[in-house]
Amino acid sequence: MEIEGIGAYAPQDARDRHAWARLAEFVAREPAAFGRDPATGGHVTGSAFVLSPDGRAVLLTHHAKLDRWLQLGGHCDGETDVRRVALREAHEESGLARIRLLDQAVLDVDIHLIPANPREPAHLHYDVRYLMQAEAGAIAASAESRALEWVPLDRLERRTAEPSILRMRDRVLRYRPISAASNG
């Protein structure tokens, strides 16, 4: 299954099929799906699950507004190439000089509610996540973040209980075991 601007995705279970169907329906019906207008009720966002150069850790940001440890990512702001959005956000939020996309396919789709704030009403993020790997550079937190941290994949539960982050980790480990991640 493929959605223009987003890419292909191989749903693994009923939750995946439901999220992908909701994303496809939203993109098909909403002309401003890749924009940022909260009046649409939501928008597509792009995220990066960035592995360390040795593949043993993931880079998480302590999001300043949401006060939670999350993967890197953000709004499309009108850009319809969500892979490019996820890569741009990964660079901006991490300070890393080089990050590469490990797979053209979508790693995960997560649809979640963003709470209302003084500037906008509550709305949905149709978050499309891609698997990436850091190649060079030191990390440096952006203004959107309280901190950045390389969290070992095998100790991720110590930093976050967020089901969608643990789900991405489990997918990565299923297809790229830690022992093989550093070998290519």
pLDDT for 127-176, tens place per residue?
Answer: 999 999 999 888 988 888 888 999 999 999 999 999 999 999 999 998 77
What's residue 177's pLDDT? 57
The residue count of the chain comes to: 184
Compute the distance between CA of residue 73 and CA of residue 67 in angstroms, rounded to an integer. Answer: 15
pLDDT digits (tens, 9 = 90+) for 37-65: 878 899 999 999 999 999 999 999 998 87
**Tokens 């790997």 identify what position?**
133
What's residue 24's pLDDT? 97
The radius of gyration of the chain's CA atoms, rounded to the nearest angstrom, is: 16
When pLDDT is averaged across residues 89-110 and rounded to a whole number, the result is 95
Whether 44 and 126 have beta carbons less than 8 Å apart is answered as: yes
**For the chain, which domains are there?**
2-177 (3.90.79.10)
pTM above 0.75, yes or no: yes
What's residue 183's pLDDT? 47
Instruction: List phi, psi (to 5°) of 123.
Output: -155, 165
In the structure encoding, which two tokens stand for residue 112, read together?
Answer: 């979640």
With a pLDDT cut of 70, the percent of the chain lying above it is 95
pLDDT: is 111 or 140 the higher one?
A: 111
